[in-house]
Structure 1
Amino acid sequence: MRNALISAVLLSSGVVLASSDASADEGQWQPYQMPSIADKLSERGIKIPAKQLADLTQYPMNAVVGLGYCTASFVSPQGLVVTNHHCAYRAIQYNSKKEHNYIANGFLAKSKEQEPSAGPNERLYITEAVTDVSALVTQGLSQAPLIRYEEIQSKRKALIKECESDENYRCSVRSFHSGLEYYLIKQLIIRDVRLVYAPPNSVGAFGGDIDNYEYPRHSGDFTFLRAYVGKDGKPAAYSTENVPFTPKSYLKINADGVKAGDGVFAAGYPGSTSRYRLTSELKFASDWLYPTSAERYQLRIDTIKAMGDADSDIAIKYAGTLASMANRMKKYNGLLDGFKATDIIGIKQSREDDFLTWLAGDSTYQSYRTQFDQLETLLERKRIGMQSRHYFNNAQSSDLLNAANKLYRLAKEKSKPDSEREEGYQERDMKMFTARLKRIDSSFDVSVDKTLWQQDLEAYMAQEHRVAALDKMLNEEGSSSISDRLDGLYALTSLTNQEKRLAWIDADANAFETSSDPFIRLAVALYQTNMAQEKENKTLLGELSQARPGFMKAIIAYNTAKGWPVYPDANGTLRITYGMVDGYQSRDALYKQPFTRLEGITAKHTGIEPFNAPTKMLDAINEQRYGSHKVASVIEDPSSWICRLFSCLDKPEEFNSVPVNFLSSVDTTGGNSGSPVFNGKGELVGLNFDSTYEAITKDWFFNPTITRAVHVDIRYILWMMDEVDHADNLLEELELVRN
């Protein structure tokens, strides 16, 4: 009754649950768009000038960096970087051994000399320039689909080559609005990244998969890394002679954090969203793609867990893989549950019908109906192709076969001029290509690889879309079982040896075609089928590159006419999103308040993973060693009517603890993990790390009432550093400010 009363009052007032214009919080905006929404930022209490946010050379945007799969930010003049614990998991795993398990016990370097390499694949990417190259890419393209696709790729590669005249930069040309626009992104690469401070997994992933996408949360999902460069200040590979990188700026940290109702914004590299996709695409994802993928992921998760329980080395090697799979699995389930709970398919269909009605009545865009119909036809072909190739693609899931496939492809590509090679196989890609081959050893075990591959092969054998070359391998030993056949492959291959695996980088195609290594032989046998499927896919992409941009042009006009925000779907490029610190009405009829407290950790603690908080943390909480990080209230004005209402109930104005996690209405998705969350002045107040379960469907549809992101409160991070782990050397590096 009490929660229902709160919810009813909040819903009617819109004061705390959501603002009266909550839909304004939607959008993963390109930085250059900030001046166009300056009024919206101002309404949220964001005081830093929109023009400043649009400038990647100014604070705070020049302190935001990408990891290639997550986001991070500089927080000291000595190259110190903060991100999520789960984003740095590979670095923690890379340095974990039986004798020093940093996953279980955490890690703190008390001096820079103690900071180990985060691994050969770890990079920091600092975006320095984003340039509109739409006209250069799209002008004069052929109408023939495959040629059109190849022309786009050729133009992209030429722009990238010119941009990468300095080897310390990595450039890319990304498509926005499904090929309507293209932007050239120039990023400085830091190649020497080191592990500095990570809490134990019992802090960084407190609650584990049970709490994943749930709220209230009490996760210490943070880790510190450091960027190093050569003595000349330029990026360099790992060396003991390297020195800490000096960033152009680093974030000020507001030690007072934020309160309910405060405006906030986040910057980062969101991976992908599908908000402009057609209803038919959503139906396909809901009816086939997500359920099929979820079934496979669950089987792999169960297998790795069982094998890890029996062997601690396997548990360490596959810890990052397992965490990633579990997160993806929870997301699939959340998407499927969300589609049922909110009827997003119905909402999308209604909007699409309204769009088509608008299209028919607008003389400027009436002709685009033909492109819409063409797009639907192409998408049906795409769906059929995905279903027919799904099991064959999975049947090549072995890490060793994947390596063999890529190595043979490299040998074939090397016979072409560099500019004509496929992306991923050019000279610019060789350092990362080599590093990936090396990294196999850190997350590979023959027994696990074989078991997972066998599961995929059995699924392949049980369906109708077969490939002769693969069937031949499976039946080569006559009546022997798949398991026996695979035992023979693993016993005879030399690809498990890193030195021999790397030697194939320099081999020519003939060496592959005459090799007796069973994985190499299989890669050669499957090559033509893989290339034929790739050609078919490229042809389809060429056709889509004609149909999608026209559709997007009409959709943008439609959204503008409706007064809805217009921003591109996420595509892994730097974006800004804004909102407010705010709770929400959950699916179980409870109002979720925006902050959690330290005492929630002790309440959840059972001593059994994943609710097994470290003893030293529990002692600090029980002894109320809050230091300067204690907060009396998380509500701005305790005398307001809303606080008086709460006072009659749960007294949230009497917080009297350290905030652990908090909610906001900023618009995030995968890739935003580790994104700095700023207050209105552009000071760091938290790190984004998750979304609520109800919000998972925001990849397809943004619902302002329930869409909430979950952040680690900066006051909790500082408390951990100060009162629990005594990371005094790092605290001295930070620039702390107060309100």
Structure 2
Amino acid sequence: MRNALIAAIAFSTGMMSSTVVKADEGQWQPYQMPSIADKLNERGIDIPADQLADLTRYPMNAVVGLGYCTASFVSPQGLVVTNHHCAYRAIQYNSKKEHNYLADGFLATTKDKEPSAGPNERLYITEAVTDVSAQVKQNIGDDPLERFENIQANRKALIKDCETDDNYRCSVRSFHNGLEYYLIKQLIIRDVRLVYAPPESAGAFGGDIDNYEYPRHSADFTFLRAYVGKDGKPAVFNKDNVPYKPKSHLKINADGVKAGDGVFAAGYPGSTSRYRLTSELKFASDWLYPTLATRYQLRIDTIEDMSASSNDVKIKYAGTLASMANRMKKYNGLLDGFKATDIAGIKQARENDFKQWLATDKTYQSFQTQFDALESSLVEQRKQRQTHYYFENAQSSALLETANKLYRLAKEKTKPDAQREEGYQERDMKMFKARLMRLDSTFAISVDKTLWLQDLRAYFDQDIRVAELDAALNIGAADTALPDTLDTWYAASSLTDLDKRLAWANASVAEFEASDDPFIRLAVALYATNMKAEKEAKTLAGKLSMARPDYMKAIIAYNKSNGWPVYPDANGTLRITYGMVDGYQSKDALYKQPFTRLEGIPAKHTGIEPFNAPTKLLKAIEEQRYGNHKVTTVYQDPASWLCRLFSCLDKPEQFNSVPVNFLSSVDTTGGNSGSPVFNGKGELVGLNFDSTYEAITKDWFFNPTITRAVHVDIRYILWMMDEVDHADNLIEELDLVRG
């Protein structure tokens, strides 16, 4: 296997891209693939569409979810590859003062040295997706709140029938805004272990400065491993567990891809808003995103300042900080994108055209009533969001959030399990307790108190107040005594102790209401107010469940009449997207090529975070250790416009390096991080990890000329494993192919 790797560093890449713009838009459900088989063929994706539609066959049965990111099996011994930032919690969980794996990286040279990734880490393997629209919509009624509750009851009944085996997790997800519902059955792997992670200085090279930017030079990958009991069934962490044997694992094409090659990605994109109305975009642009961005920036600045003087705080809040910085930059990118391209204007023009179509189409003319009802409900939704925003933030303390959930659990336990709120049923208890356990590794009193104080002051500075909160904190018009009050609360709370925290999960309502713990007292005091807000939200959701589905029926018909793609907005479920390896015109006279090279790393390196590449990586680049053989001459892609202009076939150019990251036109969003990127034969050629800054607005509107996803090139991963970190034991596990 090692010889195959060394021979594979014949790193062939194309340098420029085609100007032929095809709309590679779409985050497609797997069952839809046969319907777009012609589009896949046009892109040079040869793997049969019906094979991609089958979740029991290669490669889809090797693609797994982490609950927030995507990963894939790459060996018959349960080895999994994902992004470094997706495995951040696992790396953080195992980082201590004596061995900081975030800073130094980690490699387990044998399986017995692979530590647990943490009690919360799971792998979810989707085995079945079933249309249950009729069952969910059965006997739901027209009263908004009753409708919402009946939909929830139908969903929970389907889930209960599905989860006859404790090793499976089932969910019912809404597609096309409630027009369709699908039951998703997933095998849960509960014992996940950390195997290999590069240092953060390589895995997140460039940090927030380079986030959403290009060119990029990130080693954004990490290997985990799935373990099960000796009987082959999922089990919690135990030293006697054995590696999971997946039904298939991905073949890795060590030759990678070149410009113009067709590629596709599979993963679990989080959410998009492409079918949302123009009024929703304007609300996001004018109030929601600026408001959220302001709060995130304050929290980021605070955590960074406090981390500078405490390594313990730095480790505990590393994942939180990275997540917030990523979200902050996304909000800024969305706001900049809305200004650079008049997306609101584009959506409004299309919406106006839709209304004209609606008025003349005999089948859908009557849907204008639902459209008007939808707009009316959205006005109510915006008012709710603004009314509750500061009060919700005023409950942001990790200890208060924990107390709220624990008291809610005690309340829910008084009901039959089927009537409990989702998240508080018996099926949820393992994860519920795992979250309680994880708090110790992600929480510091000093930071939590400071962040909470900021949110409380923002709450006190506005007009909408909640008497129960003000009374509990003994605050009137001023907040000068608030810091002392919080000091007393944190010192007196039992929730900072793991054993006591876990014990509260079994306490009765009466025990909560008799408690003198300040955070529990506040949770009890705020319960009625929170439940009232939740009821309002459910009632509104019931109204939207009547208006949105009919609106979507009309929108789908309208899109089809125009020959536009029809796929559901992303909702955290398994999707497939296709495209090609391609650069793009970023701005006037600035073309961004599809591949970056190793030499870009020392060029950016300053020795100061975040451009502080590891010494061993810089040394390997300086010595041009590209795989212990002569680098192959690489020709320009003959299909590119530059080649046609300058006769690249007559003037070959050498890449003379290892490709690090590359661009493609696949349609991705958050949750696609870690998604395997395949060549046309279904072989792994990279991992998705980001989008370009210009493409951030694709959550609302897909622009094929500038929408690009950023991937870690598989050749860089292999090179890091071989020449930098000497992960020989893992290389031997991989199924490397050529050509």
- Range into which the TM-score falls when normalised by the shorter chain: over 0.9
- Taking the TM superposition and a 5 Å limit, the aligned residue runs for 1:206-245 are 206-245=205-244
**Aligned-partner residue type, residue 718 of structure 1:** L
Higher relative contact order (CA 8 A, sep 6+): 2
Cα deviation digits, residues 451-489 of structure 1 (max 9, x gap): 000000000000011101001122269985211111111
* Structure 1 residues 588 and 456, CA gap change in structure 2 (3 angstroms): farther
Confirm or deny: 8 A CA contact 1:629 1:658 kept in the other structure: no
Question: Given the alignment of the two structures, is residue 139 of structure 1 paired with residue 127 of structure 2, yes or no?
Answer: no
- How many Å separate the matches in 1 of 2:641 and 2:586? 23
- 1:630 Cα deviation from its structure 2 partner: 7.5
Cα deviation digits, residues 400-419 of structure 1 (max 9, x gap): 00000000000000000000
Confirm or deny: 8 A CA contact 2:167 2:187 kept in the other structure: yes
Question: Match of 2:378?
Answer: 379
- Secondary structure of 1:330's match? helix
- Secondary structure of 1:22's match? coil
Confirm or deny: 8 A CA contact 2:635 2:654 kept in the other structure: no
- Secondary structure of 1:506's match? coil
- Taking the TM superposition and a 5 Å limit, the aligned residue runs for 1:386-465 are 386-465=385-464
Question: Match of 1:290?
Answer: 289
Question: Match of 1:116?
Answer: 115
- Secondary structure of 2:129's match? strand
- 1:515 Cα deviation from its structure 2 partner: 0.6
- How many Å separate the matches in 1 of 2:559 and 2:634? 37
- Secondary structure of 1:586's match? strand
* Structure 1 residues 166 and 606, CA gap change in structure 2 (3 angstroms): same
Confirm or deny: 8 A CA contact 1:665 1:704 kept in the other structure: yes
Question: Match of 1:331?
Answer: 330
Confirm or deny: 8 A CA contact 2:19 2:640 kept in the other structure: no
**Aligned-partner residue type, residue 123 of structure 1:** R
Confirm or deny: 8 A CA contact 2:107 2:197 kept in the other structure: yes
- Secondary structure of 1:249's match? coil
Question: Given the alignment of the two structures, is residue 177 of structure 1 paired with residue 176 of structure 2, yes or no?
Answer: yes
Question: Match of 1:519?
Answer: 519
- 1:641 Cα deviation from its structure 2 partner: 7.1
* Structure 1 residues 201 and 573, CA gap change in structure 2 (3 angstroms): same
- How many Å separate the matches in 1 of 2:588 and 2:329? 18
Question: Match of 2:4?
Answer: none
- 1:565 Cα deviation from its structure 2 partner: 0.1
- How many Å separate the matches in 1 of 2:645 and 2:721? 36
Question: Given the alignment of the two structures, is residue 350 of structure 1 paired with residue 341 of structure 2, yes or no?
Answer: no
- 1:271 Cα deviation from its structure 2 partner: 0.1
- How many Å separate the matches in 2 of 1:542 and 1:633? 62
**Aligned-partner residue type, residue 28 of structure 2:** W
Confirm or deny: 8 A CA contact 1:28 1:575 kept in the other structure: yes
- How many Å separate the matches in 1 of 2:628 and 2:537? 58
- 1:590 Cα deviation from its structure 2 partner: 0.5
* Paired positions, count: 724
- How many Å separate the matches in 1 of 2:378 and 2:397? 30
* Structure 1 residues 629 and 173, CA gap change in structure 2 (3 angstroms): farther
Cα deviation digits, residues 303-356 of structure 1 (max 9, x gap): 000000011100010000000000000000000000000010100000000000
- Secondary structure of 2:587's match? coil
- 1:361 Cα deviation from its structure 2 partner: 0.8
Question: Match of 2:485?
Answer: 485
Question: Match of 2:624?
Answer: 624
- How many Å separate the matches in 2 of 1:457 and 1:640? 56
- How many Å separate the matches in 2 of 1:680 and 1:179? 34
- How many Å separate the matches in 1 of 2:392 and 2:346? 33
Question: Match of 1:561?
Answer: 561
* Structure 1 residues 641 and 675, CA gap change in structure 2 (3 angstroms): closer
- How many Å separate the matches in 2 of 1:634 and 1:179? 50
* Structure 1 residues 345 and 311, CA gap change in structure 2 (3 angstroms): same
- Secondary structure of 2:571's match? coil
Give unmatched runs, 5+ long, in structure 1.
1-14
- Secondary structure of 2:505's match? helix
- Secondary structure of 1:601's match? helix
Cα deviation digits, residues 4-62 of structure 1 (max 9, x gap): xxxxxxxxxxx965554511x10000000000000000000000000000000000000
- How many Å separate the matches in 2 of 1:425 and 1:209? 36
Give unmatched runs, 5+ long, in structure 2.
1-14
- 1:654 Cα deviation from its structure 2 partner: 1.8
Question: Match of 1:542?
Answer: 542
Q: CA RMSD in A?
A: 1.7
TM-score (norm: length of structure 1): 0.96
- Secondary structure of 1:686's match? strand
- How many Å separate the matches in 2 of 1:652 and 1:502? 66
* Structure 1 residues 458 and 629, CA gap change in structure 2 (3 angstroms): farther
* Structure 1 residues 399 and 629, CA gap change in structure 2 (3 angstroms): farther
- Secondary structure of 1:159's match? helix
**Aligned-partner residue type, residue 446 of structure 1:** I
Percent identity at matched positions? 79
Question: Which 10-residue stretch deviates more, 247-256 or 583-592?
Answer: 583-592
- Secondary structure of 1:196's match? strand
Confirm or deny: 8 A CA contact 1:259 1:634 kept in the other structure: no
Question: Which 10-residue stretch deviates more, 584-593 or 263-272?
Answer: 584-593
Confirm or deny: 8 A CA contact 1:584 1:705 kept in the other structure: yes
- How many Å separate the matches in 2 of 1:611 and 1:208? 8
* Structure 1 residues 644 and 277, CA gap change in structure 2 (3 angstroms): closer
Question: Given the alignment of the two structures, is residue 361 of structure 1 paired with residue 360 of structure 2, yes or no?
Answer: yes
- 1:139 Cα deviation from its structure 2 partner: 2.6
Question: Match of 2:274?
Answer: 275
Question: Match of 1:694?
Answer: 694
